[in-house]
Chain A
């Protein structure tokens, strides 16, 4: 097997996205999107089922996302194209599935970006404590400045994400070691706060309900695949960056739960918007309090930054295949970014950030994410069936197939049930929305698609065709 690396498309002739990223950027993209979930979001699972339920879902949902990371790594190391799961669905399942998956991606990332911006604005307002100060200006600055950064180029965007994600992550590590985690009773009081009497206040149904927010420990790690067309070596960088990101997040989630559950009663932990910042305050150290405040802002920034990157690439890919007007597929001749897609999604994010509330935005993001994970479990089964091992080149082959796909599918079903318990009407509304938009695509939009051109991977015919 021989592999020759070519130079990117020549400027002035054809304009394409730039292949300039490495595994560290992939890590920064994935962990950057997710890490905000440790600073807020995961703790609402304690409200649903108690502190122990938050720990149980931390591990079980961790299993779900480990399956996601493994499956994604295998397929993306083979289908290395912007759009990530959209390009996978197009080649493996079909155009209608691909269209839906792209919409899941755009919704999940745009709504997550909106949630991040609202969180950042609210955190600054809470810190300031000034009467008359609203979060609107901070929301606008977050979304516009990050859109500008994304507009100017992917390398700087993800370099910035790497630095701010690393600072936010290190702050969790510093907090963990500052509270003497090896000694209970000095600062931490886990044995007093989590007792057999209050560990699972609502029983096992509370654990099921906790899945809805347990997703926040890791939501967005699959976003690494959107960088597929901009990494220098997709077959190596994507699996490496995604797996390293998942390991990083599992460690961060465990440390976060341990510190927070040992400092706050579950009744408070389940309703606060700032579990780690509150933990910093409860240590009594102004240094830790300020560090965790800054880390909360940085985590929100990193997440919004990665989300703009990913949503724009998914939208750009839809335009390039004419699933949407090809106008969206323009690449900036100087910065080599999908600039029209970035600019198109900017006012949409601003509008949602100003009119939607945090809970609604988070729920839409989670719902779109879980729909996408359900697709991935089906997708990998079809991928292995149509192109068994040995028929095409894979950068990474995930182990124990089909076990991860089955685990992923089962956990998605449980999560849907948990979301139904908490936000049943939104779940139904969103399902109806995707059904109607699918009808529009099938009966109206698909006639504009150049059907042969959309399948670009140089693979042999699938088995059975």
Chain B
């Protein structure tokens, strides 16, 4: 049973790794680099938190 579990672990790892690579490729070819890297630190904070004491 443990040997079978070990093979199952390899199988799951390969399938999920391939899925992530496929999704990565799909996202990178669908969206522009400007959109994907558009996150900015503190953007929400600057607007939502009014630093008035």
Contacts and interface: CB of A to CB of B under 8 A. Distances in A.
B35 A321 contact: no
B46 A133 contact: no
Nearest to A14: B38
A15 B12 contact: no
Interface string B16-53: 11011101100100010101111111111111111111
Contacts of A124: 2
Contacts of B19: 148
A280 to B, nearest CB: 20
Given A147-B20, A339-B24, A393-B49, A6 B44 contact: yes
Given A82-B41, A130-B3, A3 B50 contact: yes
B48 A140 contact: no
Given A326-B37, A330-B36, A333-B35, A343 B24 contact: yes
A138 B3 CA distance: 11
> Secondary structure at chain B's binding surface: helix, strand, loop or mixed?
helix
Contacts of A13: 38
A175 B16 CA distance: 36
Nearest to A130: B2
A460 B51 CA distance: 9
A16 B48 contact: no
Given A130-B2, A140-B13, A144-B13, A15 B35 contact: yes
A391 B49 CA distance: 14
A360 interface: no
Contact of A133 (B3, B42, B47): B3
A133 B9 contact: no
A2 B13 contact: no
Interface in A1-42: 1-6, 8-9, 12-17, 19
A173 interface: no
A6 B31 CA distance: 25
A124 B50 CA distance: 52
Contacts of A5: 48
Given A141-B9, A458-B46, A87 B53 contact: no
A393 B12 contact: no
Given A151-B20, A456-B46, A133 B13 contact: no
13 contacts: A1-B50, A4-B50, A5-B48, A80-B45, A137-B13, A140-B10, A144-B13, A145-B12, A151-B23, A317-B41, A320-B37, A320-B39, A390-B53
Interface of B: 2-3, 6-7, 9-10, 12-13, 16-17, 19-21, 23-24, 27, 31, 33, 35-53
Please give me the 6 A-B residue pairs with the lowest Cβ-Cβ distance, nearest first: A456-B42, A141-B9, A128-B2, A330-B36, A137-B9, A144-B13
Interface of A: 1-6, 8-9, 12-17, 19, 80-83, 87, 124, 128, 130, 132-134, 137-138, 140-141, 144-145, 147-148, 151, 229, 235, 317, 319-321, 326-327, 329-334, 339-340, 343, 346, 390-393, 454, 456-460
Given A14-B39, A320-B37, A327-B37, 6 more contacts: A6-B48, A14-B40, A144-B12, A148-B19, A317-B41, A456-B42
